[in-house]
Amino acid sequence: MGPTSLRTFALLATAFILSGQPANSQPKAGATAGGVFTGRSGKPMANTRMILAEVAGDQEVIYAKVKLAVNPPITVTDDKGQFQFTGFTPGTYVVLYAPASASKVLPAEINIKALAAVAKSPFPLLRDTQIGDTGTPYPDRLWGRTFTLLKGHTFFAEGANMKIWNATARWGPQGPFMEVRKGVIVQQQFPDQRPIKLVAWSY
């Protein structure tokens, strides 16, 4: 193969590589996603303000922080709990929420390491068992300095200690609220090809 042939081959290879780049390799804001938000009881979470935020920091069991953009994607559910987000960049988000009538002032970030903390278990002989899922639901409980676990939360017994397992957690006196399942803060891929169904554990 001569020099001219080598140059031609290199040009063709470069053209192929460039043309092979996916057109949407950099996701752009402008996506739309919708669905329904209900309580675990099936009751619609009507007139609820929903905010998309991102998690960052420690990638173990529960993440370190929930971070909000300067102008995060926000929507409000209708009377049936239906919602639609528009104009966001596709990705994985945690959904924060609060009654539409609550304060619209949001922190730039929320430290959620407290949700990974453990407490002394009332059943020290139990291991690898969910507690609080039978009998009278646990009432609201303060957890750390900034969180309240709403009624009906459950724990996972680890012998002498227990950790949050399933809960609706409220940050501060008015929220926002966030969901924890099996010890991990709930995240959702947006958009999803199917209608998104979100569930609030304590409602």
CA distances from 4 to 9, 12, 45, 90, 157 (A): 9, 12, 69, 45, 72
3-state secondary structure of 11: helix
Bridge-partner residues for 171, per DSSP?
147
Tell me what pLDDT residue 24 has. Answer: 40
Tell me what pLDDT residue 48 has. Answer: 98
Tell me what pLDDT residue 23 has. Answer: 38
Tell me what pLDDT residue 29 has. Answer: 65
* pLDDT tens, per residue, the chain with 203 residues: 544 443 433 333 333 333 343 334 344 568 899 999 999 999 999 999 999 999 987 545 455 899 998 889 999 999 999 999 999 999 999 999 999 998 888 889 999 999 999 999 999 999 999 999 999 999 999 999 999 999 999 999 999 999 999 999 999 999 999 999 999 999 999 988 789 999 999 99
This prediction's pTM: 0.82
Tell me what pLDDT residue 159 has. Answer: 96
Domain regions of the chain by residue span: 26-200
Q: Tell me how far apart the terminal alpha carbons of the chain are, to the nearest angstrom.
A: 73
Tell me what pLDDT residue 10 has. Answer: 38
**Between β-strands 196-200 and 31-39, what pairing exists: parallel, antiparallel or unpaired?**
parallel
Residue position matching structure tokens 């049936």: 80
CA neighbor of 32 nearest in space, from 194, 191, 196 = 191
Q: 45 near 96, Cβ under 8 Å?
A: no
Tell me what pLDDT residue 5 has. Answer: 41
